Amino acid sequence: MHAREIRRGIEYIATVHWERRLFDSLIPLPDGTSYNAYLVRGSDATALIDSTDPVLRHELLAQLEAEPRLDYVVSQHSEQDHSGTIPDVLARFPAATLVCSPKAEAMVTTHLGVPAERIRTVDDGECIDLGGKTLQFVHTPWVHWPETMCTYVAEDKCLFSCDFFGSHLATTDCFVSDRARVYEAAKRYYAEIMMPFRSVIVRNLAKLDRLDFDLIAPSHGPVYDQPGFILDAYRDWVSPRLKNEVVLPYISMHGSTERMAKALIDSLARRGITVHAFDLAATDIGKLAIALVDAATLIVGTPTVHVGPHPAVYYAAHLANLLRPKVKYAAIFGSYGWSSKAIEQIAGLIPNLKVEVLGTVLQKGLPTPDTLRQLDDLADAVARAHNADEAIVT
């Protein structure tokens, strides 16, 4: 994508990966993604902030071909999608200095092979004067790696936020034009990548509140020219507030668990609770992660495979444990043929979730009228917990 000016002397270079559908061999990308670099030109020096994924290096280098000089290359984050093309940029501009946080120095050396003599580390709050434009570096550790930082240009009220506020979204738009679409993409990005670091993000949001900016330029997705939109969204996602919602991932082998799931879904809905149900035989894990951002309760349904939970349920429970959503309540239901320890094993898979278990229902074979009554009782327990919890918006 051609370079576009977002402020006088600041250009946005988005290399758009339209066809990419999987990130880190793990995260679905239904809308592709972009890797954003930014050129900042002062009267005395020019800096490039971030680069692109090596698979699209030719697109970035083509945009830099006519650039007469580059004095600084800023690595805000050492992962390949941000810094993977930095060695090529440094080769193209042999006088340029790589700027990074102290914690990033070893990473860009080992991961990218950048010679130590070409690296300058910057402390939190340190500045580099480009002439009429000042780069101020703001350390934001664990958003989402230990070495990450943002870059702030006070003269233009512009914040280069790295992964903070990013969205995996392939688009020709320079600025956010469709808030609903960007909101979903940004929430997916938060859920899959940022949610485990929720408490750290709270502190880093407070840190950014001390800066005066009206433009957020992330490393993925379009630029926010009305940043209050995404800032409010992040404040909501990291807050202790929860919604009157249940996330219910399940899978069924011979129909018993599916019947139990549908009965429970209906019972919860009759009590005014919104249910996000996911059949794990055909689920986008990103959608599951998005639902976990706000939900008060996680209920897992599984058949039994060789005494334990179905492997798809094992994976979903492990994923939820890694993402550390702010759910406060949980329950487990399932079925078995001859013996089962599925409930105990699922409970052991989610130690990071500090939840109150509201109940378990385990059925041998097809569900009976008594099974359905137990599921109704479970729905009652969920409704009581939600209604009594002041943190849950009902």
Quick one: average pLDDT of 277-287? Answer: 94
pLDDT-derived band at 1 (thresholds 50, 70, 90) equals confident
Q: Which of 195, 213, 238 is the last residue of a domain?
A: 238
Contact 100, 108 (CB under 8 A): yes
Q: Which residues pair with 128 in a beta bridge?
A: 135
- Among 21-25, 31-35, 133-137, which is the least confidently predicted range? 21-25
Same domain, 283 and 350: yes
Same domain, 222 and 283: no
Q: Domain total for the chain?
A: 2
Q: Is residue 56 over pLDDT 80?
A: yes
Whether 104 is in a domain gets the answer yes
Structure confidence by residue, pLDDT tens digits, 77-88: 999 999 999 999
Whether 139 is in a domain gets the answer yes
Same domain, 173 and 138: yes
Is this model's pTM higher than 0.75 or not?
yes
What is the pLDDT of the chain when averaged over all its residues? 96
Domain limits for position 202 = 4-238
Same domain, 175 and 313: no
Whether 101 is in a domain gets the answer yes
Nearest to 95 by CA among 112, 113, 71, 115: 71
What is the rounded distance in angstroms from the CA atom of residue 157 to the CA atom of residue 136?
Answer: 11
pLDDT-derived band at 352 (thresholds 50, 70, 90) equals very high
Q: Which helix (H) or strand (E) holds 246?
A: strand 242-250
Same domain, 214 and 278: no
Same domain, 175 and 289: no
Whether 253 is in a domain gets the answer yes
Whether 90 is in a domain gets the answer yes
Structure confidence by residue, pLDDT tens digits, 183-210: 999 999 999 999 999 999 999 999 999 9
Same domain, 251 and 227: no
**Cα 88 to the chain's mean position, in Å?**
28
- The CATH number of residue 201's host domain is 3.60.15.10
Whether 376 is in a domain gets the answer yes
Quick one: average pLDDT of 358-375? Answer: 95
Question: What pLDDT shows up at residue 394?
Answer: 77
Same domain, 24 and 163: yes
Q: Which of 171, 206, 238 is the last residue of a domain?
A: 238
Same domain, 216 and 330: no
Question: What pLDDT shows up at residue 23?
Answer: 87
Structure confidence by residue, pLDDT tens digits, 96-111: 999 999 999 999 999 9
- How many CA atoms are closer than 13 Å to the CA of 320, on its beta-carbon side? 31
Burial of 109 (0-12, 13-18, 19+ CB in 10 A): middle
Whether 394 is in a domain gets the answer no
CA distances from 139 to 147, 160, 199 (A): 8, 12, 16
